[in-house]
Amino acid sequence: MDIKFKGGIILIVLIAALYYAFPTYRAYQPGVDPQTVEDKVNLGLDLQGGMYLDIEIKAEEAVKEIIRRTAVELEDLLIDEQVDFIEVRQTAGSLIVEMEAGKKVNLELAPYDRFLVQFDQQPEGELTYLSLKADEANRIRESAVSQALEVLRNRIDSLGISEPSLQKQGANNIVIQLPGLKDRDRAIELIGPQAVLQFQIVNSNATPNTYNRLTEVVKYQEVWDKTTNKLISKRPYVLEKKILMTGEFIRDARVRIDSRDNSPYVALSFDSIGADLFAKITRRNVGRNMAIV
């Protein structure tokens, strides 16, 4: 091959390489924001630094939550059907329905049969044991990790980081790489909190002594009146321990404006199961306040 021809090819390749490399060179010069430069090569953690996180998802907690929620639903159903039972209690991986002496409940009959989609039934006298099926438990664990991955991806998108990496590793871990991250504290604050809404009834019988015994207080922010420039009075709310439902039933939530007085409010839309459960909860707690935490 002619040496001039070879030299021409090398020159063309060199010019092309410089052309594509220049945006990257310019992007990482002092005083230049890399986010404003297009067509640059995004550097990884090894070249530009950043944050590496290995997060373990507590998938087993999702299994426990399903069992806890089923206990609440089954107890509510037994009350609605006016069945004589003592209690529905939760153990490590199952439920125990305890009936009055001489009484039995057949969960294979409607309307209880829907629980057998997820649970195996084992009657023993006045006691009925419900054990979560193995394949259902695995499905719940996998779903918990997938949901956590989606939540984390949405949170990280708000940081404006170029090409973050989120990958599932093993059964319950998610590895996150945030190249070029500047505000590490902000990232940890955004990624760290558990994204679960809980619906709980407010304890209206709480006294000042109750407040003094509190061990957990939800994060709050002081609000000042713009007109008087004074701190708006605050009132603590004590919640009952029982969690009546969680945010997994919420299909949509958005801020709306009340046409009567132009005040903002949050409109919630539930799926079919959540709508039925919310109706039962509110029907049984008329006149009481419910907190969404």
> Does 2 fall in a domain?
no
pLDDT in tens, 62-109: 888 888 888 888 888 888 888 888 999 888 778 899 988 888 777 777
Instruction: Specify the CATH number for the domain of residue 219.
Output: 3.30.1360.200
pTM of the shown model: 0.56
Same domain? 211 vs 84 = no
When divided into structural domains, the chain yields a total of 3
Contact 97, 70 (CB under 8 A): no
Question: Which residues contact residue 142 at a Cβ distance below 8 angstroms, ignoring those fewer than 6 apart?
Answer: 59
- 20 part of a folded domain: no
Mean pLDDT of 25-51: 54
Query: What pLDDT, on a 0 to 100 scale, did the predictor assign at position 152?
Result: 83
Compute the distance between CA of residue 245 and CA of residue 70 in angstroms, rounded to an integer.
Answer: 10
Same domain, 101 and 210: no
pLDDT at 55 over 60: yes
Strand locations in 149-214 (E): 165-169, 173-179, 198-201
Enclosing domain of residue 169 = 50-59+136-191
Q: Give the residue among 7, 5, 26, 27 at the shortest CA–CA distance from 15.
A: 7
Residue 244 has pLDDT above 60, yes or no: yes
The helix/strand/coil state of 200 is strand
pLDDT attached to residue 195: 58
